[in-house]
Amino acid sequence: MATPSTDAKRGTIDLAILATLEHQARYGLEILTEVQRATSGSLTFKEGSLYPALHRLVKQGWVETSWEESDSGGAPRKYYELTDDGRRALERKRQEWRSVRDAMEVFLNMRGAA
Amino acid sequence: MSPVDQYIRRATTGLPNRARLDTAAELRVHLNERTRQYMDQGFDRSEAEHLAVEQMGPAEPVNRSFLGHVFTPRVGWVVLVLLVLGSGGWLAANYLFAPAPLVRTVAVEAEELLPYIGDFQMLQVTAPKGTKTLYFAVTQGEEEASLSVINLEYDYADLRPNQRASIRFGVGFLNSALAMIECGSGSRVLATFRGTQSRSEMCLPVPSTNGSWAFLMQNGGDNVMVHDEWQPMLLFRPTVMVTELLPGQFANWSTPEGHAVDAPRDTWFVVSVFATTVPITEDFTVPAYPKVSDVVRQYRWLEPQLPDVRLTGEH
């Protein structure tokens, strides 16, 4: 059984990946770069953990893959793209995240005021 | 092997072939691109590869995640070896090296002696595999005297596969003061007992409690137990005191009071053991118990020790 910290970490990575793929298909390194750019480097994780997370999302049917030629002329890359289920999962996770964030803000503000 | 190759091998080992190739290709594209980025920053190839691999983090957690469980091949092998060793040990302990089915005479332990002051002997029977019921019989002369039955299915129900019921069974003459029954003149209390809990008593017309026990052993060693066959184990010859020896009669020993000689053979008795796979609950009639004449005929080596055999039996 996974520990809560592992679940939380996994949930964060999954949400970040799904959000990164919301508007376009991307390959692994591109996803990493986009996450770091969008969060100004605040959200980092070992690059190796990206691929098991991507495989997990594929297995859940939220993401599908395709090998495509590199536009820069290099080796072909494996691109990841959201499925319809993936979009619904992203929306659900986004709402969950906001609920938690709002609840924590209220809680911490109350504690700060006390 | 380059750091990139090592990382890919460790991260993808154990995956099904198709998934392994696909994942390896994807990781290689990633690592090559990272390597190129580091080389663009001025690192040489080996340094760039090293940094690219470092950036990936440890390969084992990635491999575990790919596999979907904690058993990486190395852990899997260790667990497999431990399981094989453990299973082998368990099998050996429970199925191999089972004790031989046999019946043997053993030394009597002091605590087993305490309740009994008399002249007795003890047997230890290790039952053959599959034995459900064990019988102990006492024959006096040519007459069947008593039969004890032990239900192994009940008494030894929790034995492991390589364990065998091993039972101590004693037989002998009780001091009359300790006996629960009272016998008439000329009879003695013969007790059979198992441990200190189970005991039965009967009166046997035996002229004296002085006598000698003979172990009925094949080739001087343990007797091998087989199913459905009586195995005589003990012979008891009572002794009587006479003031004078009759013609042809031999004294075991002589004192000023007289001569000790073997009592007539119809007062001797034999203790025999019988093991069967038939449960006690089923109808089963044990074959006739071995008689004294059977034993004397079977164990010819007794004859030199029994000078009166010819006098009382076969002349």
Quick: pLDDT tens for B162-174.
888 899 888 888 8
pLDDT tens digit string along A36-61?
888 888 777 788 889 999 999 999 99
Question: Higher-confidence residue: B209 or B47?
Answer: B47
Sign, CA torsion B257/B261/B266/B269:
positive
A64 has pLDDT over 90: yes
Q: Which residue of A has its CA nearest to B35?
A: A29
Optimal mutation site among B6, B9, B30, B39, interface A, most CBs of chain A within 10 A: B30
- Find the radius of gyration of the CA atoms of chain B: 38
Note whether A55 contacts B61, CB cutoff 8 Å.
no
Optimal mutation site among B31, B62, B70, interface A, most CBs of chain A within 10 A: B62
Read off the pTM: 0.50
Residue burial B105-122, b: 16+ Cβ < 10 Å; e: rest = beeeeeebeeebebbbbb
Q: How confident is the model at residue B90 (pLDDT cuts 50, 70, 90)?
A: confident
What 3-state class would DSSP assign to A35? helix
Q: B102 has which bridge partners? A: B126, B224
CB neighbour class for B36 (10 Å; exposed up to 12, middle 13-18, buried from 19):
middle
Beta strand B269-276 pairing with B258-262: unpaired
Note whether A75 contacts B11, CB cutoff 8 Å.
no
In this structure, what token pair is assigned to residue B91? 């099998």
Contacts of residue A53 in chain B, CB cutoff 8 Å?
65
* pLDDT in the model for residue A3: 40
Contacts of residue B57 in chain A, CB cutoff 8 Å?
46-49
Which residues lie closer than 8 Å to A76 by C-beta, 6 or more apart? A67, A68, A69, A70, B29
CA B53 vs. chain centroid, Å, equals: 61
Q: Which residue of B has its CA nearest to A75?
A: B29
Asked if residue B230 lies in contact with residue B137, where contact means CB atoms within 8 angstroms, the answer is yes
User: What gap in Å lies between CA B252 and CA B261, rounded to an integer?
Assistant: 5
Contacts of residue A27 in chain B, CB cutoff 8 Å?
29
Optimal mutation site among A32, A45, A47, interface B, most CBs of chain B within 10 A: A47
Contact B130/A at CB under 8 A = no
CB neighbour class for B217 (10 Å; exposed up to 12, middle 13-18, buried from 19):
middle
Contacts of residue B61 in chain A, CB cutoff 8 Å?
48-49
What 3-state class would DSSP assign to B72? coil
What 3-state class would DSSP assign to B116? coil
User: What gap in Å lies between CA B136 and CA B138, rounded to an integer?
Assistant: 7
User: What gap in Å lies between CA B123 and CA B274, rounded to an integer?
Assistant: 13
- What percent of chain B has pLDDT above 70? 89
Q: B134 has which bridge partners? A: B150, B275
| Closest chain B C-alpha to A46 CA, distance in angstroms | 6
Contacts of residue A76 in chain B, CB cutoff 8 Å?
29
